[in-house]
Amino acid sequence: MSRFDELKDNLVRVQARIAAAEEAAGRAPGSVSLVPVSKFHPVDDIIALGQLGVDLVGENREQEARGKAEALADAGADVAIAMIGQIQTKKANAVARWAAEVHSLDSARLAERLDHGVELALERGEREREILPCLVQVSADGDTSRGGAPFGELDALAEQVEEATHLELRGLMVVPPLDAVPAEVFREVRTRADALGQRLGRPMLLSAGMSGDFEEAIACGSDIVRVGTGVFGPRPVG
């Protein structure tokens, strides 16, 4: 079997599982978006997914993502990259050049640096889109060393993103702590996203669930699932 056919089969299986989870949860068909996570996989795999209709993938590491974004542009592939991994503030300018979206905004300082980075990239002709859609990553247990903002900082951080010139708040993202019950985390952050949406006057998305638990996340209200292994297969060592 060719790699293209392998990716196609994997993608179809994951999409079918998402559709089944939507139906089981009583949710509208197509209400959940899939973001394949391409960490360590070659750019040719992303190009193949683009040919299969995927227009956004997630990457965890800035340097790898930047190289892939450049390769995708050179290949004329219509696939964008969302940064889903923890971002050092010193890398914010670099992320602002290539990221179509950021799903791991977790501090006021990072929001400030990303906003400035987009402005700088626009001035230098390194970016076309004036707005960078963002999800705020939540730390469900308050341990920010793994990325994420504590619940108590969400409102202030959301307010700062709302006031930024080049950032647009789209919702919340969460990775359950290893010792947590994932469903409890998903439901809590769904509640927080809904409360934030009511305060801001528009719906907020929830990105929750990966290869091992995305069906459970969909049942708890996730709008975006991040699936790596299920789509690409086992991750190469890198």
pLDDT of residue 208: 98
H or E stretch at 41:
none
- CA 166 – CA 174 distance, rounded (Å): 23
- The CATH number assigned to the domain holding 158 equals 3.20.20.10
| SS3 category, 227 | strand
- Domain with 46, as residue range(s), is 3-231
pLDDT of residue 143: 83
Contacts of 163 (CB under 8 A, 6+ apart): none
Tell me if 92 is assigned to some domain: yes
Q: What is the mean pLDDT of residues 173-188?
A: 95
Q: pLDDT tens for residues 30-57?
A: 999 999 999 999 999 999 999 999 999 9
Q: What is the mean pLDDT of residues 62-73?
A: 97
pLDDT of residue 7: 98
Which one, of 117, 216, 198, lies nearest residue 158 by Cα? 198
This prediction has a pTM of 0.96
Tell me if 236 is assigned to some domain: no
Residue 224: pLDDT above 70? yes
Residue 238: pLDDT above 70? no
What angle in degrees, to the nearest 10, is found between the helix axes of 43-51 and 62-75? Answer: 50
Tell me if 238 is assigned to some domain: no
Contact 38, 47 (CB under 8 A): no
Pairing of strands 224-227, 167-174: unpaired
What angle in degrees, to the nearest 10, is found between the helix axes of 3-24 and 43-51? Answer: 60
| Paired tokens of 206 | 């929830």
| Paired tokens of 112 | 């400030």
Tell me if 237 is assigned to some domain: no
Averaged pLDDT of the chain: 96
Give the residue carrying structure tokens 């089969």.
9
- The domain tally of the chain equals 1
- Which residues are registered as beta bridge partners of 83? 59, 102
Q: pLDDT tens for residues 97-131?
A: 999 999 999 999 999 999 999 999 999 999 999 99
Tell me if 20 is assigned to some domain: yes
pLDDT of residue 145: 82
